[in-house]
Amino acid sequence: MKPRILVTREVFDDTLAFLDHSCEVESNQGDAAFSPGELARRLADKEGMVCCLTDVIDADLLQSAPQLRAVANIAVGYNNIDVAACSAHGVMVTNTPGVLDDSTADFAWALLLGAARRVAELDATVRAGQWKGWQLKQWMGVDIHGATLGIIGMGRIGQAIARRAAGFDMPVLYCNRTRLAAEIEKRLNASWVGKEELLKRADFVVLQLPYSKETHHLIGAAELAQMKPTAILVNTARGGIVDDAALVEALGAGRIRAAGLDVFTGEPHLHPGFLALKNAVLAPHVASSTEATRTRMAMTAARNLVAALAGDTPPNLVNPDARRQTRAI
């Protein structure tokens, strides 16, 4: 008998076909996010699930899903999942690393360029019919080439962002828990520094690190005060890493020049102050959203789940200790 699984949000037809070959699939192709109660009800008889960052997988939900053996998250980050609780219940958790690195890095640069050259403001001006002709001192932005790029979080995506800096002749400063190998630093023209030094020296600060209790409000009022008044902040990581209220205040007061943001605390809701700021470029958490990348993400999650339910070790297992636990099935 095929294992029963739940796919919590809309996925691609090829993904469903792949899952259907090995599993009995209930899918939410209507794509309306389940409430916690509805998610618990639908998981009550399921052995696996393909979920997204909009789904909260916590201890209470696990209690309502006694047969659950594997959770396949369509994302690299998994702060929507209580991994420790899953391990305690013998539930494997997987993610989708590697497949979205370059697409996310591309979008980080889109935000960086858009904020530096005021693209959103220019577009709005032209569309509103407010452009009256060329002027020497009109809509001046800041140069990217030759500026100093600071990256906080130098994993796969951070390194992909740094590689693109070579085309702009930018030296790279990076802050990371562990230092990269010397040959990687040389290849990326990157120097390992502390967070305070990076904030003081960088013309552009890009955040690309996981969200956790330790990184909550890693960038707050004190950190924003350390940045150059001409600096630009880009966040393509997770909401909560930045204190949004402090950032709204700093942008409004001109303490930093601009920001490019793809993620927010409490999204899809966001601090209302952002909407009044012309120096904030805002995007709806789409850094990985290309057709090719999102397709690979969904298929990676599907392959992870099928492997886990077949009794194999899935390729992207987050919590290997879960396999040592037992769970009633």
Give dist(CA 253, CA 235) in Å, integer: 20
Mean pLDDT per 10-residue interval, the chain, length 329 residues: 96 97 96 95 97 96 97 95 96 96 98 98 96 94 98 98 98 97 98 98 97 96 98 97 98 98 95 97 97 97 98 96 63
Distance CA 216, CA 220 (A): 9
Q: Examine residue 223 and state whether it is found in any structural domain, yes or no.
A: yes
| Residue 216 and residue 258 in one domain | yes
Rounded to 5 degrees, φ, ψ at 20 are -65, -25
Task: Say whether 223 is catalytic.
Answer: no
Token pair of 156 as six digits: 């796969």
pTM value is: 0.92
Is 294 among the catalytic positions?
A: no
Domain of residue 163 covers: 101-282
Residue of 10, 26, 249, 267 marked catalytic: 267
Calculate what percentage of the chain has a pLDDT beyond 90.
Answer: 97
Handedness of CA 69, 72, 77, 81 (dihedral sign): negative
For residue 164, is it within any domain? yes
Residue 226 to residues 171, 197, 219, 246, 315: CA-CA distances in angstroms?
A: 19, 9, 10, 13, 41
User: Six-digit token pair at 270?
Assistant: 């966001």
Do 190 and 249 lie in a common domain? yes
Same domain, 147 and 44: no
Same domain, 86 and 132: no
Residues 153 and 184 in one domain: yes
* The predicted structure's pLDDT at residue 208: 97
Contact in structure between 240 and 216 (CB atoms under 8 Å): yes
Cα distances (angstroms) measured from residue 170 to each of 58, 188, 322: 43, 10, 43
**Nearest CA to 144 among 278, 287, 258?**
258
Please count the structural domains in the chain: 2
pLDDT at position 62:
97
Query: Do residues 93 and 222 share a domain?
Result: no
| Secondary structure (DSSP) of 280-303 | EEE--S-TT--HHHHHHHHHHHHH
Q: How many Cβ atoms sit within 10 Å of the Cβ of residue 22? A: 17
Residue of 4, 285, 323, 327 with catalytic role: 285
DSSP class per residue in 162-224: HHHHGGGT--EEEE-SSPPPHHHHHHHTEEE--HHHHHHH-SEEEE-----TTTTTSB-HHHH
DSSP letter assigned to residue 128: T
Is 52 part of any domain? Answer: yes
Residues 277 and 150 in one domain: yes
Report the relative pairing of strands 24-27 and 48-51 from DSSP bridges: unpaired
User: Is 329 a domain residue?
Assistant: no
Is residue 238 flagged as an active site residue?
yes
At 9-46, the pLDDT tens digits run: 999 999 999 999 999 999 999 999 999 999 999 999 99
The CATH number of residue 50's host domain is 3.40.50.720
Same domain, 249 and 316: no
pLDDT for the residue 27: 97
Q: What is the pLDDT of residue 328?
A: 42
155 within domain boundaries: yes
Q: Are residues 167 and 111 in the same domain?
A: yes
* 167 in the same domain as 80: no
Q: How many CB atoms lie within 10 A of CB 37?
A: 10
Q: Are residues 136 and 227 in the same domain?
A: yes
From 238, 257, 271, 303, active-site residue: 238
The answer to whether 150 and 174 have CB atoms below 8 angstroms apart is yes
SS3 152: strand
Same domain, 264 and 159: yes
Query: DSSP 3-state assignment of 142?
Result: coil
pLDDT of residue 323: 74
